Amino acid sequence: MKTITINVSEPTYLEFQDYAKRQDRTAAELIREAMEAYRQRWTERRGSVRELDPLDVGKVLRPLSPEDDLLEEMLG
């Protein structure tokens, strides 16, 4: 296991310590668990957008025409 140093506000750390004590755990355990949850949610590779189910977002406001430039609209 790698030892790291982080800076957090005093109130945040005290709250972590208090919660850890109530859970009969250490603040370090909670922080490791929080880091792992963050890693799993935000850094692990996800599937392709093609694997997502389509969403119904309401009615079509205006049909697309061949002249519509969607890239310009998305980047604009």
* Mean pLDDT calculated for residue range 14-24: 94
In sequence order, which residues have a C-beta less than 8 Å from that of residue 26 and are 6 or more positions away?
A: 20
Q: What are the residue ranges of helices labelled H in the chain?
A: 10-22, 27-42, 70-75
In sequence order, which residues have a C-beta less than 8 Å from that of residue 15 and are 6 or more positions away?
A: none
pLDDT band at 35 (very low <50, low <70, confident <90, very high): very high
pLDDT at 29 over 90: yes
Alpha carbons 15 and 9: distance in angstroms, whole number: 10
pLDDT at 17 over 90: yes
- Read off the pTM: 0.54
